[in-house]
């Protein structure tokens, strides 16, 4: 769509300052799809990058001689992306979406190129932190721009396209990550460096498409004060809490370093709240939005769902790789039912929301399905047929698809149209916080359960003739080196054997089937406990939605001046 067309749609009059939301009546379905192509390319960058890197990180760490430092590469990216998310929303509300979306893509591309040049894990962590500054705007701004050009009710029709991006990345990412990491070199460049280099052509296409098709009218600048003090306080509050969430199980949750993170994080969060109250409308996240009870409860629901959903999804590849012995590539393909469930649930809920204008029923149905799916995964053992586990993944995916997109839609609808960037950025920010904490907590539960679970299975296996025969065979000349390495500890039920496997879980796939059996059963039993906890968290989200008020979806994007003439939007 040309800029002239956007102007002729009645979206800009003789220098008048008009909110981006006015453009909704001026876009046809075809024009919206063209704009979405650019937005989805940007989202694909962020979504694909995370799944590719998570698959290849062990190979990267080994090549850069920093296996113990790999967690910092993930944490650095996560911290900057989380901190940048609300800032993009605030600045785009003030100055417009397009320049910041282009800036986010550009920063992400430069960060990707820098990552390909890393010579140590410390350099890679620094470059990933820079890359995260761009990633923070890719998802939230794409959803915000869609909120600007399409009314909440009609927006539901398009949410399936965005879910398709995440579904594609969750399958394609592990496949590409395994492919690149498994190659010594590609075109003279180390195979793992293509994990980051692949972002470049996608990002360049996204830049071209967005710059050509995304034409939004000028925004009213409003306040020109940027809440830099709030950003600094938020960094002081969030960084230590995310670090301890990642490192607490290694340091010990009551270790001095953990307590230092708790104290610094608490001080930072308290300072952030005080600064936001002082800054009022100029705040990064104005506190007034939490006086809207619908929005405030929706944020709490987002945190809970983020913790339960993403914590649970993180465990599924662990089950597939450790217990079922699948490679990262095959594990990605085995998760296809989860992805299909997400896409199907999102598309169906989107179509029904668009037709009926009702949305609250879908998070309720979705959380019920997700809770059931996670509980069924709790029943999965090392001997459960894989097709059965995949059915349970499908149920969980249907629940996720019916929950995430309608929840974001409801949060965008809860605040006035002028706060589209703010509502989207805040919702994404708190969901990321919930997801990060959920992953950290559930992995901590998993690792706390693993050692005693494996030790118990090793002791029980002493009565199994097949196991004792495998140990005897491992002590013979010419036996498999990995079997020989662990045979003595297995025969004596040495707890250090379990700890050794926890340090490098790939050993389980290298053991003979009889010796690997106790480890696989121990992993499955520990994961069963965690999936039960996940199902309870998701069920708690279902209870919260029961008390959530449904606000009728706007059938058009409300112009700023029209909203002002109608008076302030009542608090829910």
The tokens describing 238, both together, are 């969030």
- Residue 323 DSSP SS3: helix
The least confident of 77-86, 153-162, 402-411, 423-432 is: 153-162
Its domain, for residue 252, covers: 228-283
Q: What is the mean pLDDT of residues 435-449?
A: 80
Q: Is the dihedral of CA 71, 77, 78, 83 positive or negative?
A: positive
124 and 250 together in one domain: no
Within 10 Å of residue 372's Cβ, how many Cβ atoms?
18
Domain at 388, CATH number: 1.20.1250.20
Spatial CA neighbour of 472 closest among 482, 463, 484? 484
Q: Are residues 300 and 270 in the same domain?
A: no
Number of Cβ within a 10 Å radius of residue 513: 10
User: Are 177 and 310 contained in the same domain?
Assistant: no
Helices (H), 379-512: 386-401, 404-414, 420-461, 465-474, 481-491, 495-503, 507-510
Residue (of 428, 438, 434) closest to 312 by Cα position: 438
Residue position matching structure tokens 């992993």:
523
Same domain, 180 and 64: yes
Tally of domains within the chain: 3
Q: Is the pLDDT of residue 24 over 60?
A: no
DSSP 203-268: HHHHHHHHHHH---PPPP-------HHHHHHHHHHHHHHHHHHHHHHHH-TTSHHHHHHHHHHHHH
The secondary structure element, H or E, covering residue 189 is: strand 189-190
- 65 pLDDT exceeds 90? no
Q: Is the pLDDT of residue 271 over 60?
A: yes
Which one of 261, 283, 305 terminates a domain? 283
Distance CA 238, CA 437 (A): 11
Asked if residue 195 lies in contact with residue 241, where contact means CB atoms within 8 angstroms, the answer is no
495 and 542 in a common domain: yes
Q: Where a domain ends, among 225, 248, 266?
A: 225
**246-249 contacts, C-beta under 8 A, 24 or more apart:** 246/71, 246/74, 246/75, 246/440, 247/71, 248/440, 248/444, 249/440, 249/443, 249/444, 249/447, 249/448
Last residue of a domain, one of 283, 304, 330: 283
**198 and 263 part of one domain:** no
Could you read off the pLDDT of 495-517 as tens digits, one per residue? 566 666 665 566 777 677 777 78
pLDDT of residue 158: 74
Mean pLDDT of the chain: 79
Distance (Å, whole) CA 506 – CA 406: 39
Is pLDDT at 494 greater than 80 in this prediction? no
Q: Which helix H or strand E contains 186, and what residues bound it? A: strand 185-186
Residue 564 has pLDDT above 60, yes or no: no
Contact predicate 335/317, CB 8 Å: yes
374 and 293 in a common domain: yes
Alpha-carbon dihedral sign for residues 522, 338, 128, 143? negative
Residues 189, 276, single domain; the answer is no
Contact 210, 102 (CB under 8 A): yes
């Amino acid at each position: 769509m040309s800029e002239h067309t956007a102007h002729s749609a009645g979206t800009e009059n003789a220098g008048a300052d008009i909110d981006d939301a006015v453009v909704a009546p001026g876009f046809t379905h075809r024009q919206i799809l063209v704009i979405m192509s650019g937005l989805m390319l940007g989202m694909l960058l962020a979504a694909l990058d995370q799944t590719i890197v998570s698959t290849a990180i062990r190979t990267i760490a080994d090549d850069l001689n920093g296996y113990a430092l790999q967690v910092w590469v993930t944490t650095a990216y996560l911290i900057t992306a989380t901190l940048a998310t609300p800032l993009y929303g605030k600045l785009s509300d003030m100055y417009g979406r397009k320049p910041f979306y282009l800036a986010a893509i550009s920063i992400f591309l430069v960060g990707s190129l820098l990552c390909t040049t890393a010579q140590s894990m410390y350099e890679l962590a620094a470059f990933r932190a820079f890359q995260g500054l761009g990633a923070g705007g890719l998802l939230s701004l794409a959803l915000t721009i869609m909120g600007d050009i399409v009314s909440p009710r009609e927006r539901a029709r398009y949410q399936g396209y965005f879910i398709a991006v995440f579904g594609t990345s969750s399958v394609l990412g592990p496949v590409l990550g395994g492919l690149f990491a498994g190659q010594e070199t590609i075109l003279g460049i180390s195979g793992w460096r293509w994990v980051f280099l692949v972002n470049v052509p996608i990002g360049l296409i996204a830049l071209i498409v967005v710059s050509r098709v995304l034409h939004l009218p000028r925004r009213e600048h409003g306040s020109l004060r940027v809440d830099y003090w709030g950003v600094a306080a938020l960094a002081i509050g969030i960084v230590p809490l995310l670090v301890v969430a990642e490192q607490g199980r290694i340091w010990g949750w009551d270790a001095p370093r953990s307590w230092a993170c708790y104290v610094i994080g608490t001080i930072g969060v308290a300072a952030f709240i005080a600064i936001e109250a002082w800054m009022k409308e100029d705040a990064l996240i104005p506190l007034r939005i939490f006086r809207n009870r619908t929005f405030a409860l929706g944020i709490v629901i987002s945190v809970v769902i983020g913790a339960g959903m993403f914590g649970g999804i993180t465990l599924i590849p662990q089950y597939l790789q450790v217990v079922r012995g699948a490679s990262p590539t095959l594990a990605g393909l085995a998760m296809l039912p989860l992805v299909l469930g997400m896409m199907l649930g999102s598309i169906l809920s989107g179509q029904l929301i668009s037709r009926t204008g009702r949305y609250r029923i879908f998070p309720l149905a979705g959380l019920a399905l997700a809770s059931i799916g996670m509980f069924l995964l709790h029943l999965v053992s090392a001997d459960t047929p894989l097709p059965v586990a995949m059915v349970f993944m499908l149920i969980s995916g249907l629940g996720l698809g019916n929950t995430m997109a309608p929840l974001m839609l409801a949060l965008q609808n809860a605040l006035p149209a002028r706060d589209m960037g703010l509502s989207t950025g805040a919702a994404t920010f708190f969901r990321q916080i919930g997801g990060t904490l959920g992953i950290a907590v559930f992995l901590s539960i998993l690792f706390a359960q693993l050692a005693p679970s494996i030790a118990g299975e090793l002791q029980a296996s002493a009565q199994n003739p097949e196991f004792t025969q495998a140990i005897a065979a491992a002590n013979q000349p010419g036996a498999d080196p990995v079997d020989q390495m662990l045979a003595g500890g297995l025969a004596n039920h040495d707890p250090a054997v379990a700890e050794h496997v926890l340090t490098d879980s790939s050993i389980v796939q290298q053991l003979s089937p009889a010796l690997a059996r106790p480890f696989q059963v121990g992993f499955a039993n520990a994961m069963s406990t965690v999936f039960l906890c996940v199902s309870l968290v998701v069920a708690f989200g279902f209870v919260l939605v029961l008390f959530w008020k449904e606000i009728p979806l706007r059938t058009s994007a409300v112009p700023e001046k029209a909203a002002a003439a109608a008076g302030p939007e009542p608090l829910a």
